[in-house]
Amino acid sequence: MTDFLQNCIDGVMFGSGYALLALGFTLVFGVMKRLNLSFGPSIMLGAYAGTWVYLNFSQNALLIVLVTVITTVAVGIYVERLCFWAVRRDAAIASMVSSFAIWMQLEEVAMHLLPERTYPFPTFFTSTVIDIGPFFVRSEHISMFLLTLVLLALLHLFLFRTRPGLALRAVSDNPLASTYMGINSSNIFFLAFAVVSVLGGLAGFLILSADSQVTPFFGLWATFKGLIAMMLGGMGSLTGAILGGLLLGVVEANAFWYGGPLIRDISAYLLLFIMLIVRPGGLVGQRIVTQQQAAYERV
């Protein structure tokens, strides 16, 4: 039992990173009803830019965070203009396919920037083990978890206490009504990408800094983890994205402890498979879908 609880603690700590990735997918999907497959690779390229600065110029933590986030935002905006704005009047599948194509392009850029297979990613967390009764927690995981909580709180304030946050939620709810209210949807889509890219850049930094290495496959990894966590929680639900990320972290941590690394990777897909069969709308998605349908029928 102690092992199980210890795994749950570890899973929640690391799952907070998955939650941030899932929030990135969910925000764009919620606002645009389109899937951005380039989200993971955008973060990877941001992380590569941070690593490049680390290897060639400076080991200043703040500078590397800034380079990682700014590059991720720049790439996010590039993806938005090419794969979403340019095809905004076409079917949603056009955005998904073109963002997949851009994924390949971003991986090529990363491999030209730093051609080796693996690079060290700067570790800015002090790695110590903290005992809490029968349990122990790694300090870098606590740092990542606490920073994730701060980011979630800031995101909540942005969405519920600011004018652009209200506009994001309004466009997500009813794009036509938003137009009548004088909300410029194109600007809001752009804003959604910028916000998501900031989140993604920070998430990438936190995850890689705890892992202390980066490879070109990080884009694929971030896409898989973010998408799975989003679908576990329920597509389009911010609360669901957080819960999905935490659940994925807990299941993976237990699977790793009891079955090894191969079982850990399989467990994510198995969990998704079970969720899609038992509760296709995700942890909270089903309820939201039903509520929204009822709501739209009324108004």
| Contact residues for other proteins, defined by CB under 8 A | 161-167, 169-170, 173-174, 176-184, 291-292, 294-296, 298-299
Whole-number Å distance between alpha carbons of 31 and 40: 18
Q: How far is the CB of 293 from other proteins (least distance, A)?
A: 9
Please report where in the chains the tokens 């939201």 appear, as a residue.
Answer: 288
- Nearer to other proteins (CB atom), residue 32 or residue 208: 32
Q: How far is CA 16 from CA 174, 182, 241, in A?
A: 30, 36, 10
Q: What is the DSSP string of 109-134?
A: HHHHHS-SS-EEPPP-S---EEEETT
Q: Are the C-beta atoms of 206 and 142 separated by less than 8 Å?
A: no
Whole-number Å distance between alpha carbons of 241 and 233: 5
- Nearer to other proteins (CB atom), residue 175 or residue 211: 175
Q: How far is the CB of 236 from other proteins (least distance, A)?
A: 10
Q: What are phi and psi of 135, to 5 degrees?
A: -105, 160
- Nearer to other proteins (CB atom), residue 118 or residue 179: 179
- Please give the helix or strand (H or E) that residue 275 lies within, else none: helix 261-278
- Nearer to other proteins (CB atom), residue 112 or residue 163: 163
Q: How far is the CB of 289 from other proteins (least distance, A)?
A: 11
Q: How far is the CB of 172 from other proteins (least distance, A)?
A: 8
Amino acid at 241: A
- Nearer to other proteins (CB atom), residue 62 or residue 299: 299
Q: How far is the CB of 226 from other proteins (least distance, A)?
A: 23
